[in-house]
A and B are shown apart, each in its own frame.
Chain A
Amino acid sequence: MIEAGQRLHRLLAVLTWLARVQRAPLDELAERFGMSPADLVTDLELAACCGLPPYTPDQLMEILVDEHEVTANLGPELARPRRLTAAEGFALAASARAILATPGADRQGALSKALAKLESALGADGRLRVDLGDAAHLAEVRRAADEGRQLQVRYYSVSSDQESERVVDPLSVLAIDGRWYLDAYCHHAGSMRRFRVDRMVSVAPTGQAVDHSRFDGPSGPSGGPATEAFLPSPDATVARLAVEPGGMWLVEAVPTLGTAPLPDGRTEVRLAVASPVWFDRLLLRLGAQAEVLAPPELVGAGRASARRLLERYGVTAPS
């Protein structure tokens, strides 16, 4: 049971829409507003009893619900757009700005005109800017995903710390938290993979079309939060770190599995180890701000990678 405020918000939205279209199939209307037809009928029948005093039929909202269709005659007032809350205005403007920030977006097109009207009505012209960044091969990768063309990619993988050639069937390209990713079927791995576009050293079409049946299998991208940048596999190693206050940027920067305060003022952070090399690099950035508590095989990881990097500086650290 959703609370009355949410129900009112939804009902007013349905009424605004009905005031415009005047007639709509019941199922379509329910789907449009994310509710079951039964709940919709309940709310509409209730709305049909609402209006102005003395609540005689001529003062009630004119809504007719039959088995398959809703007809309404609500007048022009209810059809007017209503004021947005700050969160709604921000969300709408930020979404439009984000789409316009994708490379190759039509900056003179319909969206940009809609945004200009919206921002001007809200008094927010030029107050919001979204940069999604770029990557050397982003345009080619996006084009290949749009046109369904297979790619040969030279990719730097952090987990293996080397470049490799892969043939991939691109599905979609998305910007998450400031980085561009390609979701694609990787012929090298034999499953769906998420690639960082800025780690692609070179990209070339193979001349083959994408095989869309690849995307339907059990390893396909359906299900799961589509905008999570990193999905730990269920069998990934879980590390426990004791982190000083100065290293707590960690929880903003990487997905963690949980935190708990430690008696000595540090914080215990649990995270899934995506790959040993990734973990080493993270420890290097944390420096003396973090200590690995577990598992035992990772306890010396940070010290070892610091020592290896020191050798590149010609410094031999005492062991």
Chain B
Amino acid sequence: MVDRLERLTNLVLVLLGDQRPKSLREIAEEVPGYPPEGETRRQAFERDKRTLRDGGIVVGTVSIDGPEQVGYRIRPEDFYLPDLELDPDEQAALNLAVAGVHLGDPSGRDALWRLGLPAPSAARPVAGLPALPALPVLWDALRSRAEVEFGYRGERRRVAPAMLRFRGGWWYLVGFDVDKQASRTFRVDRLDNLPEPGVAGSAMLPAEFDPMQAMADEPWRMGDGELVAVEIAAGAAVAALIEQGQPSAEVVERRPDGSVVLRIDVTNVAALRSWLLDYGEHVVVLGPPSVRAEMIAWLETMVAG
């Protein structure tokens, strides 16, 4: 009985070895451990191919002459990466980066393994970013300039992706919505399903598209709503914190009791409300009357509920 690891290792070496595509019969003759002819052999080979593919190794098929008609090989360009020519200090820096950033799975370590770089050293974490199944799919679409299709709040979207951006605790996809003919930003954790990438090169971005411009800086600037200037009063206990945290807000008044009146431009009132309520009784909306009334109504519903 041949260990499956041995069969897989030999399979990789044989398929990579000379670049002549080999039929399954030839493969079974050259790689020890396959069952004798028939359906079980085919199943064993298909299972091995799947294992290799899950591990990022692509077995290509080519039509060949002969009774079996299909030949298999691993093309070097599918197996190897061009040498990155990393200096020792660049390798060390990549190692430290992987050790210092937690992404919720060992993909970073796996990447270093595949590049033939030493495994990460133990280092104090510097940052933790949320991992989402959609991220590698979107990243691959970005690399191959492929359009992606996904559901977002129940609506089908076709998007030419321009950038993946982590900000304020969330991953965003910035891109050009093909149907709406406008730039849009999507929270990646809110996609209804795994995005389906189109063919490479299918993504058409307008020439002047600037992903940094396309995405607002604060949650309350992300909506499509009308721009309103909201005035808030922040009590002394939190005034310094809010001012430090909102450098773009305009200081309208500093009061003797230490509180501060600030003006903030908003296009998404719900996002602003959520942020303000996190400061409890320390922050009050002064105006405009519509936003103040909305806040009061929110609280009155709670009391009535």
Contact = CB atoms under 8 A, between A and B. Distances in A.
Nearest to B274: A285
A195 interface: no
A203 B165 CA distance: 31
Given A198-B244, A277-B280, A11 B116 contact: no
B101 A98 contact: yes
A46 B103 contact: no
Given A8-B9, A303-B303, A128 B163 contact: yes
A9 B277 contact: no
Interface string B22-33: 000000011010
A191 interface: no
Contact of A227 (B17, B80, B128): B128
A127 interface: yes
A17 B116 contact: yes
A288 B113 contact: no
Contacts, number: 337
Given A9-B113, A20-B116, A95-B100, A156 B108 contact: no
Given A49-B6, A92-B108, A122-B143, A252 B281 contact: no
Contact of A117 (B29, B85, B97, B189): B85
B135 A109 contact: no
User: DSSP majority for the A interface?
Assistant: helix
Contact of A86 (B126, B140, B278): B140
Contacts of A172: 124-125
A176 interface: yes
A87 B136 contact: yes
B187 to A, nearest CB: 9
Interface string A161-172: 111000000001
B169 interface: yes
Interface residues of B, number: 105
B56 interface: yes
Interface in A105-153: 109-111, 113-114, 117-118, 121-124, 126-133, 135-136
User: DSSP majority for the B interface?
Assistant: helix
A50 interface: yes
Interface in B16-66: 17, 29-30, 32, 51-52, 54-56
Interface stretch (A76-84, A233-241, A265-273): A76-84
Contact of A82 (B29, B81, B144): B81
A305 B139 contact: no
B84 A12 contact: no
Interface stretch (B177-185, B249-257, B290-298): B290-298
Interface stretch (A64-72, A256-264, A307-315): A307-315
Given A6-B55, A55-B32, A86-B140, 13 more contacts: A79-B116, A81-B80, A81-B114, A91-B107, A110-B89, A113-B90, A131-B168, A161-B280, A175-B128, A178-B167, A227-B125, A281-B278, A303-B303
